[in-house]
Amino acid sequence: MADVLPLLNPFKRLDTEDDAITAAQAGAVGAFVMAASSVVDALVTLAITSSDPKSVLTDGLVRALVLAGVGGFQWIRMTKLIPLVLTVLASWGLFESFWAVFRSMPSDMPLWYRAVGVLFNGVALLLFMAGYRGGRELARG
């Protein structure tokens, strides 16, 4: 774990191919983190709100399965496109979270839950950025 943390620094140079591989696989770990976050999100939404259980669980589990599949593909192929797309999506999620707080939008979700969601998105964003850097270095050869 201590060897992986410097690779999350977006300004650190990836010197070896092993560093690039580890960074590219960090993008897959980010997808797995977001998949777990989707399952937790569905369960907490089900517990807190009075939404339809079938639609909430279906949405959360489908999102989790797609992210887990994308993460598995990234782990094997180590592309730069997948982390780039996931970086854009995670950035959009962070933007929406902050926008909702600043606009004081009414929500059934408590503030601690929003804070945990921002934390998950922030960690995943760092992992996706490292995954893009690793995939880009591997594509260069």
End-to-end CA distance of the chain: 25
Which pTM does this prediction carry?
Answer: 0.88
- Please work out, in degrees rounded to the nearest 5, the angle formed at the alpha carbon of residue 70 by the alpha carbons of 30 and 81: 80
How do the domains of the chain map onto residue ranges? 16-140
The structure tokens listed for 105 are 């939008």
So what's the pLDDT on residue 46?
Answer: 85
Q: Judge whether residue 2 has pLDDT over 50.
A: no
Sign of torsion over alpha carbons 59, 91, 127, 71? positive
Q: What is the DSSP letter of 139?
A: H
Q: Check: CB of residue 136 under 8 Å from CB of residue 49.
A: no
Looking at residue 106, its pLDDT comes to: 61
Encoding tokens for residue 134?
């690793």
CA distances from 9 to 24, 128, 132, 140 (A): 13, 12, 12, 20
Q: Which range, 33-37, 41-45, 102-106, 110-114, is most confident? A: 33-37
Say which DSSP state 6 is in.
Answer: G
116 CB-near residues (< 8 Å, 6+ apart): none
For 83-106, what is each residue's pLDDT tens digit? Answer: 999 999 999 988 988 887 777 666
